[in-house]
Amino acid sequence: MTRATTTTDLVAGLRAAGVGAGTPVGVAWSADGVGLAHGDALLACPGDGVDAVRRVLEALRPRLVWWSARDATPLVRAGVRVASSWDLAATHCLLHGGSDRDPALVWAVARGLDPAHRPRTGQLDLLAGGPAPGSADDPVDPAEPVRPDGHLRPGWAEHGPPTPEAAARWAAAALVVQAAHERDLGVLPDTRRSPGTPALALLTAWSESAAELLAVELGVRGLPLDRATAIRLVEERVGPRPVDAVTAAAARAGRDDAVRALVPGAEDVDLRNPASVRALLGRVGIDVPDTRAWRLEPFRGTHPLVAALIDWRQAERIATTYGFGWLDRDVGPDGRLRGSWTGCDGAAGRMTASAGLHNLPAELRPAVAAEPGMLLVRADLGQVEPRVLAAVSGDDALARATGDDDLYAPVAARLAVDRPTAKVAVLAAMYGQTSGAAGEALRGLERAYPVAMDYLRAAHESGAAGRDVTTYGGRRVRMWPLAEPVDPAATAARGRFARNAVVQGAAAELFKMWAVSVRAALPPRAEVVLCLHDELLVHAPEQEADQVAALLHDVLGSTAARWAAGSGVRFVADVSVVRRWSDAKG
């Protein structure tokens, strides 16, 4: 253990240990400094850890290894853009599936220990955590993160290592896991890739790590919102901001009364109670199993109540979820809408976001606007899932169809059906839909694209049988046990889930690789501000917007060439430069 009191010592120590560009270097924070590790070199640096890491990045360009990209937060807040990282929580989820990713679990699995015996966080610590580290009952070195039984010592993940020395050991433990993960990724099957290029699973690990880092950045910087427009749009729907609870209740009752007045004697019906609404509909002769909008839609002409109810629901959505409370809570004084982001969900690996960032109603999108002197560059992948299917299944016939800007046109021609039918059939195949009018066209797909259809069927059968599936990039997607006696519907549902997961998951991997490559290539003042499954929003200086637009196309080309190497599949993006999100056609 070396205590580096200057950043010069720190850089020299790492360089002497063989650290250069791309070398994994463990990093962990303590309250009063930072610890770094590579091989046998453990460096404890008290003081301004952020500045120390910044100097190390500038001098050596290593790949920072952390237990989770949450550790990037101090760097992100300080404006440090980390180029290369390894996120153990992310690679753990990639390799093993599931959504649990606490360090004790990640460590236990990587070390071959029984995760059930790992130390638990929170109150359970008090019951099962044993004596306090370093206490008279615990002779172990208090800076040692590994317990005598081989498990991680609880508590550090929550509160951080107590000292820079302890942080260096925590960083060294992270490096141990990183090496195990890299080894495990290396044994994943990797077909159709050029010799000499990094294995796809390793590229995915890098990309997923960067996506977690991007998620932290997105959470810190937020989405630029024009508050005045947002307020106007909310007011148009639910009226002016109520000054107190009484006026709020009055406005609410006013909206309710406008609907209830359409049916005599309905003055006291609770519109927020689905059972009451269903009964109300029954009184005007409309019998529905539930009161969802899509089920009410066919009855628009039957009674004025239906249209009023659907409209009321939209207003109610704005009033409750996207109203003044939302603006007050989630939009900062700087006009940025902030939520918490994750780099991957627990299922197929899409990014998630809270605070409405992923489900903002279209009618509020005009409020998402570039700041003065800036523009938004919006880009979305076109028909990404069928193109991904062509790549991951290795279906050459479907790959040829991706040469067309509109993939469904050549598919329709091949199947001798019209375009809408072809589209429905392809989507039905990928999502496991079995009802509707896609039947004949589905049989056409089986004949025209047997490789792709076999790939989907194999995933479906695997899921139905309870076997985990693995995405193209190497993500393990876990199935779940079914309750006895096994319900055929539940089996089929698991099959559909697996069938969808291999497509949606691979699409998420491609999207994230694109997003993080864009992030890495952007000019300094341009920032990714939103990721939405197949859509990217970049906030860029006016003068650089066209350059960024070109970059989005270029980076997609290079990313797809690496990701889908040898498949012949073409990916396309629609890119536009706009002031407001809504200016772009989605």
Partner DNA sequence: GATTTCACGTA
Partner DNA sequence: CGTACGTGAAATCC
Binding mask 267-306 for DNA (x = CB under 7 A): ---x-xxxxxxx-----------xxxxx------------
Query: Environment class of residue 88 by beta-carbon count within 10 Å: exposed (0-12), middle (13-18) or buried (19+)?
Result: buried
Joined together, the tokens standing for residue 102 give: 């606490």
Pairing verdict, β 63-66 and 41-46: unpaired
Cβ closest to DNA, residue 65 vs residue 238 = 238
In the list 61, 70, 111, 317, the residue contacting DNA (rule: CB under 7 A) is 317
Q: Which positions from 354 through 393 interact with DNA, judged by CB under 7 A?
A: 354-356, 358-362, 380
Kindly report whether the peptide bond that precedes residue 224 is cis, defined as omega within 30 degrees of 0. Answer: no
The runs of H, that is alpha helices, within 331-403 are: 384-393, 396-401
Cβ closest to DNA, residue 173 vs residue 218 = 218
Element housing 575 (H / E): strand 573-578
Residue holding tokens 């002016």?
A: 240
Joined together, the tokens standing for residue 62 give: 């290593």
- Residues in CB range of 568: below 8 A, 6 or more apart: 396, 399, 400, 402
For residue 577, the cross-strand partners are 377
Number of neighbouring beta carbons within 10 Å of residue 361: 14
In the list 55, 193, 241, 533, the residue contacting DNA (rule: CB under 7 A) is 533
Residue 321 sits in the site that holds DNA (CB under 7 A): yes
In the list 432, 444, 473, 474, the residue contacting DNA (rule: CB under 7 A) is 432
Amino acid (one-letter) located at 16: A
In the list 2, 204, 342, 393, the residue contacting DNA (rule: CB under 7 A) is 342
Residue 122 sits in the site that holds DNA (CB under 7 A): no
In the list 429, 532, 540, 573, the residue contacting DNA (rule: CB under 7 A) is 532
Measured at the alpha carbon of residue 273, what is the angle toward residues 272 and 275, in degrees to the nearest 5?
A: 145
Residue 527 sits in the site that holds DNA (CB under 7 A): no
In the list 435, 481, 483, 485, the residue contacting DNA (rule: CB under 7 A) is 435
Residue 113 sits in the site that holds DNA (CB under 7 A): no
Residue 100 sits in the site that holds DNA (CB under 7 A): no
Residue 488 sits in the site that holds DNA (CB under 7 A): yes
The least distance separating DNA from the CB of residue 495, rounded to whole angstroms, comes to 9
Q: Where are the beta strands (DSSP E) in 516-557?
A: 527-531, 535-541
Q: How far apart are CA 347 and CA 215, in angstroms?
A: 17
Cβ closest to DNA, residue 122 vs residue 373 = 122
In the list 122, 328, 489, 524, the residue contacting DNA (rule: CB under 7 A) is 489
The least distance separating DNA from the CB of residue 564, rounded to whole angstroms, comes to 19
Residue 336 sits in the site that holds DNA (CB under 7 A): no
Q: How far apart are CA 459 and CA 166, in angstroms?
A: 45
In the list 73, 433, 576, 582, the residue contacting DNA (rule: CB under 7 A) is 433
The least distance separating DNA from the CB of residue 405, rounded to whole angstroms, comes to 17
Q: How far apart are CA 259 and CA 155, in angstroms?
A: 55
Residue 352 sits in the site that holds DNA (CB under 7 A): yes
Cβ contact 204:188 at 8 Å: no
For residue 138, the cross-strand partners are none
The least distance separating DNA from the CB of residue 70, rounded to whole angstroms, comes to 16
The least distance separating DNA from the CB of residue 433, rounded to whole angstroms, comes to 4
Stretch touching DNA by CB under 7 A, among 101-109, 396-404, 427-435, 546-554: 427-435
The least distance separating DNA from the CB of residue 155, rounded to whole angstroms, comes to 23
Stretch touching DNA by CB under 7 A, among 122-130, 229-237, 254-262, 433-441: 433-441
Residue 339 sits in the site that holds DNA (CB under 7 A): yes
Q: How far apart are CA 543 and CA 546, in angstroms?
A: 7
Amino acid (one-letter) located at 491: T
Residue 258 sits in the site that holds DNA (CB under 7 A): no
Phi and psi torsions of 362, nearest 5°: -55, -35
Cβ contact 180:466 at 8 Å: no
Q: How far apart are CA 351 and CA 342, in angstroms?
A: 6
- Residues forming contacts to DNA in the complex (CB under 7 A) are 270, 272-278, 290-294, 310, 313-314, 317, 320-321, 325-326, 339, 342, 345-348, 350, 352-356, 358-362, 380, 427, 431-436, 488-489, 492-493, 496-497, 500, 504, 532-535, 586
